[in-house]
Amino acid sequence: MAQADGLEMVIMNAVLALMDRADETVGDGPFVYGFSQVMNQPEFEDSAPIRGLLEALDAGTLVAALQPLDVPIGDVRVVIGHEHGESFLHPYGAVVATYGEPAMGRGTIAVMGPMRMPYSEAIPSVRYVADVLSDIVMEQTHAGLPSNSTN
């Protein structure tokens, strides 16, 4: 059990360091990473799907389109293709989770990729990171630190 606690602390410290770095880099905006990996997928050789996604990112509508308004903290939602409300997301699949505490700060974490992405790997990964981030929000709140809602 002590080994698991040690590993959890290493992961929490790494996540905190990444969140600090993201705050320094992007401030209150969303932290977006990995577009080059999406663009290298064969179904996106045609630039139209990528162009729509990048235009949404530039316009500031990507994060809002991915944020699950009705997903409780701790749950994970999978949205594929035309299940997305916005047409620019139709070529993609997404695994989305909400983290935090409603009264203390909340955020959204999402993994996007081609509709054929390995959901069996993405779902537990997103769930785990959302749980760690929720724990961090709780710890910051109980330590008297201001919580930080990151999208």
d(CA 134, CA 140): 10
Token pair listed for 102? 């409603």
Mean pLDDT of the chain: 76
CA dihedral 97, 69, 73, 80 (to 10 degrees): -30
Three state DSSP letters for the chain: CHHHHHHHHHHHHHHHHHHHHHHHHHCCCCCCCCHHHHHCCHHHCCHHHHHHHHHHHHHCCHHHHHCCCCCCCCCEEEEEHHHCCCHHHCCEEEEEEEEEECCCEEEEEEEEEECCCCHHHHHHHHHHHHHHHHHHHHHHHHCCCCCCCCC
Q: Give all domains of the chain, ordered by start, each with its CATH number.
A: 2-142 (3.30.450.40)
Q: Is the pTM of this model over 0.75?
A: no
pLDDT digit string, tens, across residues 21-58: 655 655 555 555 555 566 666 666 666 767 787 788 77
**Mean pLDDT of the 86-100 span:** 90
Question: What pLDDT score does 32 carry?
Answer: 59
Between 5-19, 51-65, 117-131, the lowest mean confidence (pLDDT) is in 5-19
Question: What pLDDT score does 78 carry?
Answer: 93
- With vertex at residue 73, the alpha carbon angle to CA 67 and CA 78, rounded to the nearest 5 degrees, is 50
Question: What pLDDT score does 22 carry?
Answer: 58
d(CA 97, CA 76): 5
d(CA 137, CA 141): 6
